[in-house]
Amino acid sequence: MLLRFVSIALLRMRAMTRCHNKKARLASIEGNVRRARPVQIATAIRVGGLARIKSKRIKQILAAIEAERGRIDLEFLRKLSPEEAEQKLISYLGVGMKTARCVQLFALGQKAFPVDTHVHRVAGRLGLIPQKTSREQAHNLLGAAVPKNKMYSFHINLIRHGREVCTARKPKCEKCTLRRDCPRAGVS
């Protein structure tokens, strides 16, 4: 989640940047991020919650990336295998497996399967993972089970199903298209 907010902050700052030249614009974004105070980043990402903590972490991660790479740029991750990219991402303070895999799936186009709260809940109810499977274990189980060419769509669809139908409280089993195959149909 954290690096998704880095991306959001970068995009918001890009929108604020008036330069028309691409190179100049990118340099300006880097400059903005480097100079931004945590409170400014917090304002840009407030919609996601926990903005104060995340903004500090974002500054720390950006500083770490810049110290390591000489600039704020994660393009080098594209040259790594998905496993290596995941390990690199989770080495940054505050970045967990879900965040790492979201960056891989959405920003890098790598085959990775993130498990958020909705994916975890719905997969558990449908019996795709054993009950009481931890989120971390679910990453490994679902990551191995979901076909690589379906990781993006399956992730998106499970989240949507979890938000709209298989909600944490009072899931709408009577309307659910999966109810005939679901071992937890009727759960309250």
Give the binding site for ligand SF4 (CB under 6 A).
Answer: 125-126, 165-166, 171-173, 176, 178-179, 182, 184-185, 187
Q: Give yes or no for a contact between 2 and 53, defined as CB atoms under 8 angstroms apart.
A: no
Taking the least distance from each CB to ligand SF4, the nearer of 26 and 185 is 185
Q: Give yes or no for a contact between 33 and 69, defined as CB atoms under 8 angstroms apart.
A: no
Would you call 111 a catalytic residue per the annotation? no
Enumerate residues 6+ apart whose C-beta is below 8 A from 45: 5, 8, 9, 12, 51, 54, 55, 58
CA distance 86 to 102: 10
Cβ neighbours around 91 below 10 Å, total: 10
Taking the least distance from each CB to ligand SF4, the nearer of 150 and 172 is 172
- 22, 98, 132, 170: the catalytic one is 98
**Rounded least distance, CB 127 to ligand SF4, Å:** 9
Taking the least distance from each CB to ligand SF4, the nearer of 56 and 184 is 184
Catalytic residue annotation? 98
